[in-house]
Amino acid sequence: MLLGLTVLSLSYVSCAKFATVRHDSAHLEPAPATSHVPPASFVAPITAKVPRRKSKQSSLRSVAGARATAPVYGALYAQEYLVDMTVDGQKFPVIVDTGSSDTWLVKKGFKCFNLDGVAQSQSTCSFGSSGFDTSSSPMFKLYPKVSFNISYADGEFLTGPVGFDTVSVGGLAVKQQEIGVPDYAAWNGDSVNSGLLGLAYPELTSVFNTTDPTKASRANHIPYDPFFFTAVKQGIVEPYFSLSLNRGGSTKGSQPNLGFLAFGGIAPVPVDKTTVTLPVERTGSDYWFYTIDVDAYVFSGSDKTKSRAILDSGTTLNYLPSRMAAAYNALFVPRAQLDKESGIYVVDCASAAPEFSVVLGGKRFVVDVRDQVVYAGSDENGEEVCISGTQDGGVDNGENIFILGDVFLHNVVSTFNIKTNEMTVTQRRKY
């Protein structure tokens, strides 16, 4: 039988040094059905965008070996897109992240710490609310003798209890979904989001068979089904979701109409005929990230260097092999400059960006040059600072996995099929 579709809209928020700003989004029209994926009916608008965790890039590279649509939204200098999530009647903006798997909400009454482990006021962690009140949720059931425990390379961490509750995104309601409810947090927040909606594979989840966070390890890791995987198992949605992210504006505060997260169908935006379906690559024997083979990165003077890349909505920029990033950034007019302290290519905000495209499965996907000059805020003198949308992702040693982030995702609709372990990438019409 036909299952319901959910679409969510997106938005964005402000951030720190070397963050991202969006331009006003175009009016969204329904996308035509394709031979592979129907239009979504569960659609959630993306409602905001927030600063990306500093350690995301390094943590990704360190790994070796129903139809629903929700609007997405964002905020100034933002780096991660947000969508509204409701847990048993309590509504929170959360980060939409195809590069991680856990669904979590900070718990009401949580204890905040700085990165040195010293207790701070809750405001220091800069969550967007006082947190999820489990005592006000009659459906919340505690998962005993386990813990949610995740840490990041920059020192951020979240740990606390785990439970089950009804989680709804864009009208797609999943009963008995396992979620983390951290009550200890060292977090550099954005004062908007209160948690995260992870959409990657179960192997990346962060629940452990211990209540002592110092004893969490791969040996006592308990993988669980993330939100969308549970929805598919419950038979309430088809086994694919799609994401469209719009480049936002330069206005501070929340901005609507920054795209859609669509469950069970394709996001409702205009697309053209350039499309390709690719297998998701395994990490060792398991699926972890949405990793695909890249045939080539195309720009003036480039070669046909192949690599692997993760499609990650939780990362603002594209991260390419070092040699490719250096060659591309040399083509900006005026030329991009490498900031040695941060390792970031900085560009003049009025610079002309070179053309850039990505070849996947023999098909060429064009990245709009507007996405390659990323506004990052102001320096200590009040001067505007911009960075390149294409950055150094490390040496191409055959093991590193690179990242196609929001700079790429602004230009395509990406569809993730968790049953066939395939991804379909479709070029968006210019907007």
Q: What's the half-sphere exposure (Cβ side, CA atoms, 13 Å) at 91?
A: 6
Instruction: Look up 165 and say whether it is catalytic.
Output: no
- Other beta carbons within 10 angstroms of residue 219's beta carbon come to 9
Answer yes or no: are the C-beta atoms of 416 and 241 closer than 8 Å. yes
Alpha carbons 325 and 318: distance in angstroms, whole number: 9
Structure tokens at 374: 């990323």
Alpha carbons 65 and 35: distance in angstroms, whole number: 35
Answer yes or no: are the C-beta atoms of 411 and 371 closer than 8 Å. yes
Which residues, at least 6 apart from 316, have a Cβ–Cβ distance to it below 8 Å? 19, 20, 52, 79, 80, 374, 405, 406, 407
The full DSSP string for 335-394 is PPEEETTTTEEEE-TTPBPPPEEEEETTEEEEEPGGGGEEEEEE-TTS-EEEEESEEE--
Question: Quick one: residue 268, left, alpha or beta (phi over 0 = left, psi -120 to 50 = alpha)?
Answer: beta
Q: Which residues of 140-177 are buried (b: 16+ CB within 10 A; e: fewer)?
A: beebeebbbbbbbeeebbbbbbbbbbbbbbbbbbbeeb
Instruction: Look up 312 and say whether it is catalytic.
Output: yes
Alpha carbons 374 and 270: distance in angstroms, whole number: 24
Handedness of CA 77, 80, 85, 87 (dihedral sign): negative
**CA-closest candidate to residue 59, choices 215, 181, 204:** 204
DSSP 8-state class, residue 203 = G
Q: Which of 165, 190, 312, 406 is catalytic?
A: 312
Q: Which of 97, 102, 190, 392 is catalytic?
A: 97
Three-state secondary-structure class, residue 65:
coil
Alpha carbons 73 and 12: distance in angstroms, whole number: 5
Alpha carbons 314 and 311: distance in angstroms, whole number: 9
Active site residues: 97, 312
